[in-house]
Amino acid sequence: MDYDEFRLQVSPDLTAAGQWRLELLECPIAALVGQKGVTTAAFTPQQLARMRSAQAWPDLATLQAAGNAIWQSLMTPTVEAAFEAARIISRNAHRGLRLIVVSNGEESAVLPGRIRLAELPIEALHHNVSSFLATDEETPVSRSFQARADAAPVAITFPLRVLVVVATPDDKPPANAAQEKLAITQALQPFSDEGLIHVEFCEPGTPERLAEKLRDSFHVLHFIGHGGVQITGDDPTPRAHLCFVNAITGRTHALDAATLDVRLRNSGVHLVVITGCATAQPVPAGPHDDGAFVFSGVAQRLVAGISDVTAAVAMQFDLEAPAAELFSREFYHHLLSGEGLLDEAVTAARKSLATANGLGHRCWVTPTVHWRCMEGRVFDFRATRAVLDDDKIRQLGELQTMIAFVRKKLDRIANLPPEAQPFLVDIRAETEAELDEFNQRRALLLGQSLRLTGGRTTVDRELACRLTLRLLTPGRIEQVTVRLRYPEERLESLGAIGGNGAAGAAPAIAAIGPGAFQAVILRPSQGAVWAAGEHELGMFRFRVRPATPPGSLDVRLDQPEVERDGAAEATRTQDAIIFVLQPPG
Partner 1 sequence: MIPSRIGNLWRTLRIWCLFDRLTMAEYQETIWHFGFDSKERTPVLQLFASEDSMFREGTARPDEEHRFEIPPSLRVNESTSNRSRDRIWNGDEAQEMARRLWENLPLSVRDTLKARRLKSETSLRVRISSDWPEASDLPWELLLHPVFWIPPGKPWLNLTRSVPVRVSPSPTRVSLPLKMLLVLTNPKDERLLDSHAEINAVTQSLSHESYHWEVCHEPTVEALQDALRRVQPQIVHYIGHSGVGHGEGNLILHDSQDRTRWLDAETVSRALPPTVKLLCLSTCFSARNYQILGLLRFAMASVAATLPSIVVNQSAVSETTVRKFWGAFYHSLIEDAGDASMALSQGHRAAREAQPHLADWASFALVLRERSSIVFEPISQIQELTNVFKEFGDPRVDLQARLAADFANDLAEQVRSLGTDVSPALATQLSVEVDRAQRYEARAKAEREVAASSKTFLQ
Site for partner 1 in 132-171 (CB under 8 A): none
Q: Under the criterion CB under 8 A, does residue 304 sit at the interface with partner 1?
A: yes
The 3-state DSSP class for residue 448 equals: coil
Q: What is the largest CA-CA distance in the chain?
A: 79
229 versus 555: smaller Cβ distance to partner 1: 229
CA distance 468 to 451: 5
The 3-state DSSP class for residue 84 equals: helix
251 versus 461: smaller Cβ distance to partner 1: 251
Q: Under the criterion CB under 8 A, does residue 31 sit at the interface with partner 1?
A: no
Q: Under the criterion CB under 8 A, does residue 246 sit at the interface with partner 1?
A: yes
Q: Under the criterion CB under 8 A, does residue 427 sit at the interface with partner 1?
A: yes
Q: How many CB atoms are located within 10 Å of the residue 306 CB?
A: 11
CB of 394 to partner 1, least distance (A): 10
CB of 272 to partner 1, least distance (A): 15
139 versus 146: smaller Cβ distance to partner 1: 146
Residue among 37, 43, 44 nearest 20 (CA):
37
Choose which of 235, 389, 546, 584 interacts with partner 1 (CB under 8 A): 235
CA distance 74 to 6: 13
Class of residue 55 by CB neighbours under 10 A (exposed 0-12, middle 13-18, buried 19+): exposed
Q: Under the criterion CB under 8 A, does residue 485 sit at the interface with partner 1?
A: no
Angle between helices 321-337 and 177-193 (to 10 degrees): 20
Choose which of 105, 174, 358, 474 interacts with partner 1 (CB under 8 A): 105
CA distance 220 to 162: 5
Q: Under the criterion CB under 8 A, does residue 429 sit at the interface with partner 1?
A: no
Q: Under the criterion CB under 8 A, does residue 247 sit at the interface with partner 1?
A: yes
Lay out the site mask for partner 1 across 542-581 (x = CB under 8 A, - = otherwise). ----------------------------------------
Choose which of 139, 366, 401, 449 interacts with partner 1 (CB under 8 A): 401
Choose one: 13-21, 51-59, 172-180, 530-538; the region binding partner 1 (CB under 8 A): 13-21
φ, ψ dihedrals at 558, nearest 5°: -145, 150
Choose which of 207, 376, 454, 499 interacts with partner 1 (CB under 8 A): 207
CA distance 518 to 482: 6
In order of 54, 162, 193, 329, the CA distances from 183 in angstroms are: 21, 15, 16, 9
Q: Are 576 and 452 within 8 A, CB to CB? A: yes
| Size (the chain), residues | 585
Point out which residues bind partner 1 (CB under 8 A).
11, 13-16, 21, 23, 35, 104-106, 108, 207-208, 211-212, 214-215, 231-239, 246-248, 253-254, 257-259, 262-263, 265-266, 300-301, 304, 306, 398, 401-402, 405, 409, 412-413, 415-417, 419-420, 422-424, 426-427, 430, 434
